[in-house]
Amino acid sequence: MAKIIHTMVRVRDLEKSLDFYKQALDLDISKRLDFEDFSLVYLRNDENDMEIELTWNKGAEPYTHGSGYGHIAVAVDNLDEEHARFQSLGYAPLDIKEFSRDGQLIARFFFVLDPDGYKIEVLQRHGHYQ
């Protein structure tokens, strides 16, 4: 059986991205591999069994996300507090939305962009989203 261990995103400014992921999602560096032309930095916190890999290709042209990329999703205990915290950090989260089906709440969430424009969905812990 396969186990998901990380997802990777390419970043233009590694330090800016490290600051964002630490402040926004409390992710710390678990491993860093620096090479002449690129760096690989793996981020996680105690709540996660998988990592986000930031790949910084030194001197690379700006990246495009294409039409296939979606988002990274995280679950939090208090969505309203997290939304306010993201605002206080200057990350400009979008408004909180609710997604229901047949009158039943499926999810409460908001989106925020990381420094490279990758979407992050922040969901209230509820139902499937734990």
Please identify every residue annotated as catalytic: 121
Instruction: Report d(CA 88, CA 64) in Å as an integer.
Output: 28
Alpha helices in 39-127 (DSSP H): 79-88
Q: CA-to-CA distance for 100 and 97, rounded, in angstroms? A: 10
Please give the Cα distance from 119 to 115 (Å, whole number).
10
